[in-house]
Chains A and B, each alone.
Chain A
């Protein structure tokens, strides 16, 4: 009987340069995903803190927006850094996902999942839909291409009136619904992402594993509530 050989899989090669080789390895890519993930998580939290200032009134949030804009070149440096992390995070996860699908060409006839969650199994899907959401979100609020009218909003001090921009935008039911959907997927993604970061960076251990994963899920849904409260209160007419 001929010897049974291991099925051929696309060969994975390693560069002699240790840094490149690190990225080429499974664990190296995971580190890159986790580290860029941390940057993006910090950004999501910071962005939330900025948005929530809408509850402190028009002056505070417009002032904050003005402050960001006045950062000038520094703002662009931060934006470029965020963009780089975003792109690297996506490229690495797509590469990992392709390898993962190749590794399991045939699934089981009846799924018998014991420990994974719908969130953990749909990271690539939630991630890619969030990518689409982010692109639209930037076109709408940052570049103001979909809604050029936002550019002409100014308050009495001549600052860009972010306060009224948010109110005008979220009064549209469909914009709010799309926003809530985007945030729902983002926070599903984060509910697995938070704890995953600690595991991948080797910080996790059995003593804290339960706390970390429960904490990650709680934090993700708090972030969801924080973001979604804004279109909700605007639609209900509580913020006007």
Chain B
């Protein structure tokens, strides 16, 4: 298959970037989007040109490293998959495809299509953990957890932290990400000691870093590779108000 690509090229974080046209020729229909870019890059290397920089690691949809916006959609068309799990057979021969980095003030471009998403780690540092006893592993069945709660927590825990929710959000809000982390830990008994401080610290960190505010567009939910439901944001809103009330009751 052949495609016309319009790829965002940017030499570094503080320089202007622009779209550059490339031809992708003789691409197997079963190539993934990243493999298609590999083939284009091989051509560039042969012609002694600068390769297109893009992120990837596992290439099997579990690590959350790949991060492309394809035709304006984070991770490209289709549901519940990462950029590395998008295959060229989804496109029509001769299609023009726009490829951009995840865009948000909090995700500065490192080069071309690579962005620095460490702001997500900053939010985890602010509260995305539990206090656990060190030493030998505890008996697995010592804390009973109901099936419904366990399933819900597991669903939230499926977040791979790619940041597509931020990229897709017209406000670059990270609330789906934060809500997944807050719900995953806040639903389980092990996460209760820090439940109040966690949600307040994580939301504050999110605000301080400069992420936008959710206005309930639900673009995040639509592109999430792990299909995290936006109902976790509703839970986050509830949890945050509860935590703020508790803190106010103690402090005021």
Contacts and interface: CB of A to CB of B under 8 A. Distances in A.
Interface of A: 4-7, 9-12, 14, 17-19, 21-22, 24-31, 96, 99-100, 102-116, 120-121, 123, 192, 195-196, 198-206, 209
Interface residues of B, number: 62
B72 A18 contact: no
B170 interface: yes
A100 B221 contact: no
A204 B234 contact: yes
B116 A6 contact: yes
Interface string B54-96: 0000000000000001011100000000000000000000000
Contacts of A11: 208
B103 A200 contact: no
Given A22-B244, A204-B231, A110 B104 contact: no
Interface string B145-158: 00000000000000
A206 B106 contact: no
Contacts of B206: 26
Most buried by B among A31, A115, A195: A115
Contacts of A17: 252
Given A27-B236, A108-B69, A103 B241 contact: no
B229 A206 contact: yes
B240 A196 contact: no
B209 interface: yes
A26 to B, nearest CB: 4
B219 A206 contact: no
A95 B208 CA distance: 15
A24 to B, nearest CB: 8
A201 B214 CA distance: 13
Contacts of A204: 231, 234
B237 A27 contact: yes
B210 A9 contact: yes
A96 B72 CA distance: 24
B172 interface: yes
A25 B207 contact: yes
B252 A6 contact: no
A206 B248 CA distance: 30
A203 B168 CA distance: 24
A19 B98 contact: no
Interface string B1-43: 0000010000001000001000000000000000000000000
A204 to B, nearest CB: 4
